[in-house]
Structure 1
């Protein structure tokens, strides 16, 4: 049995849901990556890259081109994020990345990019059904992940909001396509996202509060 065959094999069954090794391992690493992102640790990016590699194998086998393509984006943006956080970015006093809210112009760019990107990718999947069995949800997740990770790489608090919007579609899509562990993990992602959002929000306000106090 090859490594790819083993990753796509069933690990166990829980609540009548078949759990695949690739689904379980990839999402466990992804969960770790999100926790590291909440801590503003540079190690969030290598973890996201590793998660992307494993989940690429998982989704490719399930004919979910958007979700598989999302993992390619995850790996590319993980490399970009690592570069951003190690070069030319403002560091906090504890050595972690300094975070901030996006400007209104940046928010407009993120929203417009998400809308146009989803329409473009969804249209492509609709024209070529062989690319995806769930074209519009698949396109939404693909583009939403790109937007979220770009915002994270730029240290924007808004990346947490983007992840929440991705989770709202990602949970039912994963359950519907046999990736139960992904669905369960996305629920945990939701809790971590809310926790991380609060932490980044407060830290983005710290410099302003300190300036006001001075």
Structure 2
């Protein structure tokens, strides 16, 4: 049995929403995504394996929808999830199994901002020239914001929630525009969960005068 034959049932319509067929892939992406963000907001380690499953569903979904940067982004997310999983359990330094929540430093903001701007321009040009994407800039900008936010999530930086909120504000109308109404609804839920996560992480913020522990190589 080929890979296409294995994946075909996931791509079959399950029900119709606003005259648009919703596949098993989108439903499973909806459920695993919502659970993942809820677990992140609670700083629960299980968010990482659930998130990896969510990434796999979204690779299939976004490829079908022509959102190629978002599809490729999921592969990066899987790699970052492995890093984040390790960091959350080992990045707090000797004698601790928990990484504390901290603020993003000025240096981190500088290189994150530069990487985000360069990434947005580069991906926009790539999508415009090499694919049939109808939304190259918006696909690229959400990709850059999501990568910046994921870095912050891996290192438990409080401001990662603001980056996710910015990305979700774009994702909601973008997915609706592409006919992914259930996914658009999911990201509206993500937006709410991000606000909850921001509040929860703010409560657990480490003292400003305590220094982040170095991550072992």
> TM (normalized to structure 1)?
0.88
Task: After superposing the two structures, state which structure 1 stretch, 165-174 or 13-22, moved more.
Answer: 13-22
CA contact (8 A) 1:32 1:47 kept: yes
Q: Which residue of 2 aligns with 1:159?
A: 160
Match of 1:117 among 116, 119, 131: 119
- The question of whether the paired residues in 2 share the 8 Å contact of 1:49 and 1:74 is answered with yes
Q: In structure 1, list runs of 5 or more residues that go unmatched.
A: 210-214
Equivalent residue in structure 2 for 1:28, among 9, 27, 31? 31
Offset of residue 49 of structure 1: 0.5
**In structure 1, what is the equivalent of residue 189 of structure 2?**
188
- Name which of 4, 9, 27 aligns with 2:7: 4
Q: Partner of 2:105 in structure 1?
A: 103
Counterpart secondary structure, 1:19: strand
* Count of residues in Structure 1 that have an aligned counterpart in Structure 2: 206
Residue 212 (structure 1) aligns with: none
Q: Which has the higher helix share?
A: 1
Instruction: Write out per-residue CA displacement over residues 96-143 of structure 1, whole angstroms, 9 at most, x where no aligned residue.
Output: 54101111111222222211111111111122233x332111111212
The answer on whether the counterparts of 1:85 and 1:153 sit within 8 Å (CA) in structure 2 is yes
Contact 1:170 1:183 in 2 (8 A): yes
Q: Aligned-pair distance for 1:90?
A: 5.0
User: Which residue number in structure 1 is paired with residue 200 of structure 2?
Assistant: 199
Are residue 58 (structure 1) and residue 61 (structure 2) matched? yes
Are the aligned partners of 2:63 and 2:71 in contact in 1 as well (CA < 8 Å)? Answer: yes
